[in-house]
Chain A
Amino acid sequence: MDKEPDLPPPIFKTWGRFYAVVIANTLVTYLLLVLFSAYAR
């Protein structure tokens, strides 16, 4: 059995919120890459 309960870090409250933050972060990363390309072109 788990040695501790299956909860995310307290700031996220639920795993769903944590995943949403990771996905949002990924989308921001995509946007930054697009902006980088546009800047350097």
Chain B
Amino acid sequence: MLQPIDWLVVVLYFAFIVFVGYRTGRGNTGIEDFCLARRSMPWYAIGLSVMATQASAITLVGTTGQGYVDGMRFIQVYLGMPLAIVILCVTLVPFFYRAKVFTAYEFLEKRFDGKTRSLTSFLFLLGRGLADAVVIYAPSVILAIVFGIDEKVIIIAIGLGATIYTTLGGMRAVMWVEMWQMLIIFIGILFCLGSVIVGLPDGVSLTDAIQVAGATGRAETMDFNLDPTVTYTFWTGVCGGIFLMLSYFGTDQSQVQRYLTARSLKESRLALLFSALVKIPMQFVILLTGALLFVFYQFEKPPVVFNPVALERLAQARDVSQLEADYDEAFETRKEAAQNFADALGGPREDEMRRSFLQADADFSGVRSEVLGLIRESEPGFSDTNYVFPTFVLTKLPVGIVGLILVAIFAAAMSTVESELTSLSTATVVDFYQRYVRREAEDSHFLAVSRVATLFWGGFATFCALYMGRLGSAIEAVNRIGSNFYGPILGVFVLAIGARWANGHGAFAGVLLGIVAVQLTARYSEISYLYYNLVGTVVSVVLGYVISLFFASPERSV
């Protein structure tokens, strides 16, 4: 359970965030203030805000777990990001900036027509609206189980907490808050890495630990396998990853809106390039923490399953005493083998000790897999990956630091939620309310409507998160489909700036056909999901262009 000092750290965090939100968010007088901070933000605040938006709580908790269970190969997802950012800085960012738009989709009406803008904005609202509920719900379940806090309290703290200061302070408050949240996340990550390194037993150095992790393949960060069905390889990361990142940073309003707040085009570019340079090293540190956790748990006995509730349910349903005895024995054997291997590194018996360690690790994993298999009989698809890191934090870190890491997880969750809220509200008001309901009104009217829209989306996300247990599969299904929209939407933007003869009819049809192509690819092929955006973009560009040829020449131009 959390100690009073940890609670104090959590309370201080919320007080600080509310204070920053209140101080920086005062004086909004119109919609440009509320949605784009009157285009006045400096690059460093935008850069950290861009990073905070991307780093959700599941990124922090799940990625360390991924490092523990599967190793560091996941880092390859981000290999294409710096290249994608450079492409965007040369292409879309100047177009957005000079067009003085509020949303990425508004640009499409300037170039094509209203229906293309409305379709892409609607797809964004559909995908992100439900994704926001997942962003709140997923960490809440984990924190509730591991830290013993009521799930509903966490959902309300994250969901309504973020909604309140986003509604009151608007984009300026959100971005300054996010800057601090990202700094808290950085501090939390470094504390975690330091804690794991300090927790290694005497005689096992950091380099020894990396080699122990490496012996099991967990330190493998680059895989040059050309097979497109292997999820994480250098090629999927670079080829597929570029399109994934182009789609996310170039067409997702939650990111585009960040760099539209810049006081100049230069500041927009600097912010994006800053986040591009920092992202891979940051993910490396998070994954390394997970891989080193694996080494840490060679010498400290980990729970059989990191989700205590699932383990308790299994123990109530059947007798697991024999499995627990086998697990204890396998752990002691592996502990001894790991110590022998670490001692033998660089010596003549290294290969022999490596083999016996790998055998002991396989035996240990076999017992754990047996237990996981029993849980999956009643809970198909069960995984405890996301519970590894919070369990370590609660059981192994000192009082106060636990509170700090919990705060970093809260910060990661809230920074993503508030970004989604600002972008959802801006797209709702600018792309639909101003477009179809009321084109002309006082600025104060649109400010009030923006606040109502923020409140609506925050309430909607929190409500869905509260009832996620019942609505789970439906929301997840829509969320999964939503993630397939981005490639085709990127295709429309490519048509907009790269194909002079493309027109609204072609672009509109291109998006829809691109979505169909991605769905079919996901259903009938086994290629890595990182390629889906590439497929969606190519289909949407090619078919969008061909269909455009059947209609008149461009109706409008930028």
Contact = CB atoms under 8 A, between A and B. Distances in A.
Interface of A: 2-9, 15, 18-19, 22-23, 25-26, 29-30, 33-34, 36-37, 39-41
Contact of B86 (A5, A6, A23, A30): A23
B273 A18 contact: yes
Interface in B219-269: 219-222, 234, 263-266, 269
Nearest to A4: B264
Interface string B466-507: 000000000000000000000000000000000000000000
B82 A8 contact: no
Interface stretch (B55-63, B108-116, B207-215): B207-215
List the 3 closest pairs (A to B, CB-CB), nearest first: A40-B214, A40-B219, A26-B82
Contacts of B276: 22, 26
Given A22-B82, A23-B82, A33-B222, A6 B280 contact: no
Contact of A8 (B75, B221, B266): B266
Nearest to A20: B86
Main secondary structure of the interface of A (DSSP, over half): helix
Contacts of B314: none
A33 B265 contact: no
A40 B269 CA distance: 36
Given A22-B86, A23-B86, A34 B266 contact: no
A2 to B, nearest CB: 5
B520 interface: no
A40 B220 contact: yes
Interface of B: 75, 79, 82-83, 85-86, 89-90, 210-211, 213-214, 219-222, 234, 263-266, 269-270, 273, 276-277, 280-281, 284
Main secondary structure of the interface of B (DSSP, over half): helix
Given A22-B85, A36-B221, A41-B214, 20 more contacts: A2-B264, A3-B263, A5-B266, A9-B270, A15-B269, A19-B86, A22-B82, A22-B86, A22-B277, A25-B82, A26-B83, A26-B276, A26-B280, A29-B281, A30-B79, A33-B222, A33-B284, A34-B222, A39-B214, A40-B219
Contacts of B220: 37, 40-41
B222 A37 contact: yes
A19 B90 contact: yes
Nearest to A41: B214
Nearest to A33: B221
25 contacts: A6-B264, A6-B266, A7-B266, A15-B90, A15-B269, A19-B89, A22-B82, A22-B85, A22-B276, A23-B86, A25-B82, A26-B83, A29-B82, A30-B222, A33-B75, A33-B222, A34-B221, A37-B221, A37-B222, A39-B210, A39-B211, A40-B213, A40-B220, A41-B214, A41-B220
A30 to B, nearest CB: 7
Nearest to B281: A29
Contacts of A7: 266
Most chain A beta carbons < 10 A, residue from B90, B210, B213, B214: B214
